Amino acid sequence: MKTKAYKNYDEELFTEVLDNGLTVNLLPKAGYHKTYAVFTTNFGSLDNQIKVDGQTVTIPAGTAHFLEHKMFEKEDYDAFDLFSKNGADANAFTSYSRTSYLFSTTVNLKENLNNLLDFVQRPYFSAKSVAKEQGIIGQEIQMYNDDPDWQSYMGILKNLFPNHAMGQDIAGSINSISEITPEVLYQIHELAYRPSNMNLFVVGGFDVKEVLDWIKDNQNKKHFENKVVELSNNQNDNLQSDGADIIREAQQVGMVQRPKVMIGLRGLKPLPAKGIARLKYIMELDLALYLLLSSSSQSYLELYDKGILDDTFGYELNAERDIYYLTISGDTNNPDDFKQKIEQVLKNGVDQLKDQDQEFELAQKEMIGRSITKMNSIEAIANSFEGEWYGNSTVFDEADLYQTIKFEDVQKAFADFISGNMISTFQTNSRGDQK
């Protein structure tokens, strides 16, 4: 077992890779009564094919999300019911790059851990239950199709990632989920949910040796096929390195009171190789964007005073494996002014950052403070674990890493991001604004 001590925070992370390949991370917290566990597979909506033993298996869009929904329902019981009977709250979520199953409890930790491992690793699918789920998820997709905020977000992703899984809804489409059968689910589960593609993170009040013994005992009772498996996205080659494929502008009409504007930029420069360096670059870029676009930035305050933006304004930097992108959004009565002014902020950002060394020091302290605040939440500690793509880092690594970032690092990160980049806009108009 490997141990990693975070002396500044009096925390210690214990990690062991089991014989079957499952990575187990245990972070005990003295004095805590609650325990939180997350069981994650490195399989999300980005993965549209699996290469196994030299052959390629195509994955219908929405399969990762569909699997998440179906995993709880078994032939003779419901996993949610077992968690409830054992005093635990359970849930799950699917992203572009992973699917996670989780629970929190103050009692019956062994029973709940076994339930988590068992229901995720022992699937049950029937034609009847799959058909029922297709109807449920189809309604969910339709519901989001009627949500103007979600459609605006998907609109900018389709602009930034045309002909790519990043531009598709995580839930897939009604057509794509119609291709999902019990046989497809069993096959994908066997390949994508193998232990070597998964990790378990447990944090809270427990004894490390005892919990690890429980987990090993559970896994030793199960058999998994040993196959050479590679998850991949065959659309990555469609992303042009110069951004020439990016759709520069698109619009739609929706049920909105006033226009919604989404501005997006796709990261064109390749991220650093897997590891802490990749995480550090994203943190540097996030700090630059905080200086330029946060509610305390000079640009925001000036545009707010002029009425060009309001409290609906926001931005988010997202990173999924090798892909990263920025979205900026807001409701406005003057969409042309909004787009023009925000584009100016981005294009002039390199020069604007030069004089913000004092603001950088305050922003750096703010980010360190946010990381320390996360340390008080066992849910935040576990959910922020990104695995090997970002150096198996935790919130404790993030807090230490923020302290190593220099102002010139932040300037360079933004300069690299914005240089030669293509700004895309997606606008949702009310019917009265339709031209």
Q: How confident is the model at residue 118 (pLDDT cuts 50, 70, 90)?
A: very high
Q: State the Cα–Cα distance between residues 26 and 252, nearest whole angstrom.
A: 48
DSSP 272: P
pLDDT per position as a tens digit, 65-91:
999 999 999 999 999 999 999 999 999
If you average pLDDT over residues 374-397, what whole number do you get?
A: 93
- What was the pLDDT predicted at 267? 97
Long-range contacts of 143-151 (CB under 8 A, 24+ apart): 144/169, 144/171, 146/255, 148/254, 148/255, 148/256, 148/260, 148/428, 149/260, 151/252, 151/254, 151/428
Res. 333 pLDDT band, cuts 50 70 90: very high
Contact 26, 210 (CB under 8 A): no
Q: Are 145 and 130 in contact (CB under 8 A)?
A: no
For residue 369, what is the DSSP state?
Answer: H
- Mean per-residue pLDDT, 161-171: 94
**pLDDT value at position 431?**
75
Confidence at 227, pLDDT banded by 50, 70, 90: confident
Which of 44-58, 354-368, 415-429 has the least mean pLDDT? Answer: 44-58
Lowest-pLDDT range of 91-100, 175-184, 248-257:
248-257
Q: What is the pLDDT of residues 239-294, one digit of tens each?
A: 999 999 999 999 999 888 899 999 999 999 999 999 999 999 999 999 999 999 99
What whole-number percentage of the chain has pLDDT above 70? 99
Write out the DSSP string of 44-96.
-TT--EEEETTEEEE--TTHHHHHHHHHTB-SS-BHHHHHHHTTEEEEEEE-S
Per-residue pLDDT, 434? 52
Reading across the β-sheet that carries 249-253, which strands appear in turn?
249-253, 424-429, 260-266, 323-331, 314-320
CA distance 100 to 40: 4
| Distance, CA of 109 to CA of 259 (rounded, Å) | 50
What is the pLDDT, as a whole number, of residue 215? 98
Q: Which pLDDT does position 161 carry in this prediction?
A: 97
pLDDT range class, residue 105, cuts 50, 70, 90: very high
Written as six digits, the tokens of 210 are 């005892």
Which range among 147-151, 282-286, 386-390 shows the weakest confidence by mean pLDDT?
A: 386-390
Whether 55 has a pLDDT exceeding 90, the answer reads no
Residue 190 has pLDDT above 90, yes or no: yes
Q: Is 266 exposed, middle or buried (0-12, 13-18, 19+ CB in 10 A)?
A: buried
DSSP 183-199: HHHHHHHHHHTSGGGEE
Give the pLDDT of residue 52.
85
Mean pLDDT of 328-344: 96
pLDDT in tens, 392-405: 999 999 999 999 99
Contact criterion met (CB below 8 Å) for 241 and 268 = yes
| Strand 229-232 with 49-52, pairing | antiparallel
Cα–Cα distance for residue pair 12/163, rounded to 1 Å:
44
Q: How many C-alpha atoms does 363 have within 13 Å on its Cβ side?
A: 25
Asked whether the predicted pLDDT for residue 435 surpasses 60, the reply is no
List b or e across 232-264, with b for residues whose CB sees 16 or more CB atoms inside 10 angstroms: ebebeeebeeebebbbeeebeebebeebbbbbb
The token pair at 36 is 């939180």
Helices in 294-394 by DSSP H: which ranges? 298-305, 335-347, 349-353, 357-374, 378-383
- The answer for residues whose C-beta is within 8 angstroms of residue 42's C-beta and 6 or more apart is 97, 98, 197, 198, 199, 231, 387
Cα–Cα distance list, 367 to 290, 294, 320, 435 (Å): 10, 12, 21, 43
Structure tokens at 429: 């108009």
**What does pLDDT average to over the chain?**
95
- CA–CA gap between residue 221 and residue 344 (Å, rounded): 61
CA 106 from chain centre, in angstroms, equals: 27
Q: 3-state DSSP call for residue 373?
A: helix
Confidence of residue 233 (pLDDT cuts 50, 70, 90): confident
Catalytic residue annotation: 68
pLDDT of residue 261: 97
Is the pLDDT higher at 152 or at 235? 152
Going by pLDDT thresholds of 50, 70 and 90, the confidence category of residue 432 is low
Quote the pLDDT of residue 229: 83
Sign of the torsion formed by the C-alpha atoms of 48, 52, 54 and 56: negative
The mean pLDDT value for 419-432 works out to 91
pTM: 0.94
